[in-house]
Structure 1
């Protein structure tokens, strides 16, 4: 089955070229010229990836994605823009964008970024410590159920995670009790290391820390200027 992309771009010439090229390299593409049609299309179809122009004729691309994320908080998406402004990039990353591409761009680079994101969003490789078929990871006094994207707490309540938070949590768990460099995390989960993605990582670490406050055994410690240590106290005692 082909991976399905919702492409939202109001520039007809650019839209036509990008749609044809993405189809040429094997994607199924639904192209919409405005936010209204894109939202209607999203409600009736499933998409592996969204590519959304920030400046649309009838809406703000940020607002469109925020509406879509209310329907599916784990949706992967890329923003396109003709504006290379820091505030726009930060807003896009805060919404949860997987990438932010400034026009004009190389179409082959766009395809590569799409493929990298889709590949990263597949389940992370599981080491021998955890069965590859297991959807449950036990982390000290916590249980992470990957298929549900839920972290179960000692008091039997649970916290829902976004797909990116779940990927980060699993990666840190599989490399527990050792120093994890920020650059290595960014390259593993985002495919590149830059300032804006680093800010996005800070947000996800903060969210995970908030969830881990419910645990007496699991924590994320800062290693100043280097990265983090995902610690499980129960294992450290052995």
Structure 2
């Protein structure tokens, strides 16, 4: 799952980034309004952590731009301004949650999982397709009653397909969702083919009633 941190305080940003990376999130960051706007225009995120006070703009205005673009990325506002008016304003504009600084990292993690659960899992603690169940909080995959062992990227690929069942996903979309900023360094998308090949084999060997079908010239989709 991919997180964007829009925060101008380097120390706080680094602490949050390292904590979330230890929790196996893919984390990107922006230190100001303009770079944050560039990110939300170009990519999709499972959750955006948004500071209100930015050096070249206001986080509330960035939230308004996100809604103008009709993007559904969940947003948690992080702000030292712990006033009722700020909270109400942020939530009315379209934020999903509001957390005042300073905060405990454990609480931040719980809130991130909560908004992702509402967005991607209809509030449930798992994703289910045919006889496959994915439990994002523990990163477990169950086929029938047996656990499927996947490496980190195989799990991330499967999760993205489980969020978008029976939808054709372009290779570029898949690469950006799973590898984030690092995709710009890739010469080709051959690494995606390798991950999907291994994942398809593991699904088949473990009796999954679903497969990843190649859509020629476009990408892949999860089908029954």
- Please give the range of the TM-score, normalised by the shorter of the 2 chains: 0.5 to 0.7
Q: Is the 8 A contact 2:44 2:73 kept in 1?
A: no
RMSD: 2.0
Distance 2:11 2:123 in 1: 40
Q: How does 1:1-238 map to 2 (within 5 A)?
A: 3-124=1-122
Give yes or no for contact 1:98–1:117 (8 Å, CA) kept in 2.
Answer: yes
Residue 98 of structure 1 and its aligned partner are, at CA, apart by 1.0
**1:189-229 deviations in Å (ceiling 9; x for gaps):** xxxxxxxxxxxxxxxxxxxxxxxxxxxxxxxxxxxxxxxxx
Change (3 A) 1:122 1:103: same
CA offset digits 1:100-130 (Å, max 9, x no partner): 000000011101110111112234389xxxx
**Cα deviation, residue 72, structure 1:** 2.8
Change (3 A) 1:125 1:108: closer
Indicate how the Cα distance of structure 1 residues 90 and 125 shifts in structure 2: closer, same or farther if over 3 A, else same. closer
| CA distance 1:13–1:125, shift in 2 (3 Å) | closer
- Helix, strand or coil for the counterpart of 1:7? strand
Distance in structure 2 (CA, Å) of the matches to 1:47 and 1:113: 15
> Partners in 2 of 1:76 and 1:43 — Cα distance?
14
Task: Report the counterpart of residue 203 of structure 1 in structure 2.
Answer: none
Counterpart position of 2:191: none
Q: Which residue in 1 is equivalent to 2:145?
A: none
The 8 Å contact of residues 35 and 58 in structure 1, kept in 2 or not, is answered as yes
Contact 1:69-1:75 at 8 Å conserved across structures? no
CA contact (8 A) 1:4 1:47 kept: yes
Shift of 1:75: 2.2
List alignment gaps of at least 5 residues for structure 1: 127-131, 134-146, 148-238
CA distance in 2, matches of 1:78, 1:67: 15
3-state SS of paired residue (2:53): coil
How much has 1:97 moved relative to structure 2?
1.2
Higher RCO, 1 or 2 (CA under 8 Å, sep at least 6)?
Answer: 2
User: Where in structure 2 are there 5+ consecutive unaligned residues?
Assistant: 131-163, 165-224
Runs of 4+ in 1 over 4 A off after TM superposition: none
